[in-house]
A and B are shown apart, each in its own frame.
Chain A
Amino acid sequence: MAHILAVNDLHVTFPTDDGLVRAVDGVSLSLNEGQTLAIVGESGSGKTVTGLSIMGLHKRGATQISGSILIKDGDREIDIVSSSEEEIRMLRGGTVAMIFQDPMSSLHPYYRIGNQLAEAFLVHNPGKKKQAKARAIEMLDLVGISEPAVRADEYPHQFSGGMRQRVMIAMALMNSPRVLIADEPTTALDVTVQAQILILLKSLQKEFHMGILLITHDLGVVAQVADDVSVMYGGKIVETGTADGVFYQPKAPYTLGLLKSVPRISTHGSDRLKAIAGQPPSLINLPTGCAFAPRCEYSSHAPTDACATLRPQLLGKSPSHLSRCHVDESTRDSIFVKELKQVRP
């Protein structure tokens, strides 16, 4: 399978009054047709900035960006980092589309739903008004909105949150994109609606053969839909592998911490939630060594001073499951399996 999206060594930094914010610090990832790759991480780990950069929606002028973001557009391959604003604009909403976290505020309150959808089509197919209107109704129908022709004439405030997210998905799919970036698509929704939206995304992925880049902090969502997972911490990917691999045999201490902190309905009602101690690092002054070292319980297993002074590389015994940690991988495997058994008996 061919890559439709390949990000190589992406760095995104914003200068602020307090110093340089390294929001994305050397991220590489690739996405195939029909594949779902989840990027998981806490708030401020750089996952949303990664998504916005792929859309070319990072603030030009206010940000410094380096590395490459290659997107297959037909036979061509376009690098978002080095392309002109106009070239990127033609990709946006066409080959690459994005849906956002808050469907309540992501639709323009003053325009009819149908017109907002049609605009997405018209931007890429100028002048085809009738087709745009027909396509809008077709897409509304496809995402499960009943009476799409009637609903197309309504305004966003007449839709519920779940329905608005369906509209956002319909809008993103207007031009049959190759890549769909979904930035926390279910975070603002009720749990039952979350499941509906995820099922919808999955079925649409099959129909459109899209690659989906799912940005989320919700491990439950990841488990439901992702094929592969990249875990981000402090602007870096700290672990990447298949969803099963990352869930059942986490390699990075941070991933283990995330898995342990998922709330469970346990048989022992008095169990406390196992949160990761400490705070995520400021992206302005990252520690010189491993960014996770100040919060890590396992640094005693690493060679002396390594965690505090050296940045760990993304390595692994298997090339499909990589992680950043100074502790020997076999040592980690044996410790982590025991730890996971305790929370998942």
Chain B
Amino acid sequence: MGDKADVWQGTLALMILKTIETMGPLHGYGIARRIEQTSGNLISLNYGTLYPALLKLEQEGSIASEWGVSENNRKAKFYRLTRAGRKQLNQEARDWEQTTAILARFLSPTEDPA
């Protein structure tokens, strides 16, 4: 477990939004599992931290929730992306790509063209 990364501040929201976009409406447990799978089990996610993050996104209007029935016929709360959420996702994904691209330039071995 020791080499697993924690979730960086602020990136959890982006992961949640992306997950919901990819998977369609999904319950909290599903989102958590999906994030772990997507990370190739590199992230150690405390599932409990997911719920305040979901609430914050909902308060901000990026996602909406309603009760539904899971694949195993269990009552669960499903979260779906709103129009504002989709916009936010695109914006933040772009920002993030830019940031990583910049950092990548710093960190990759220098390819001196000259």
Q: Do A and B come from one complex?
A: no
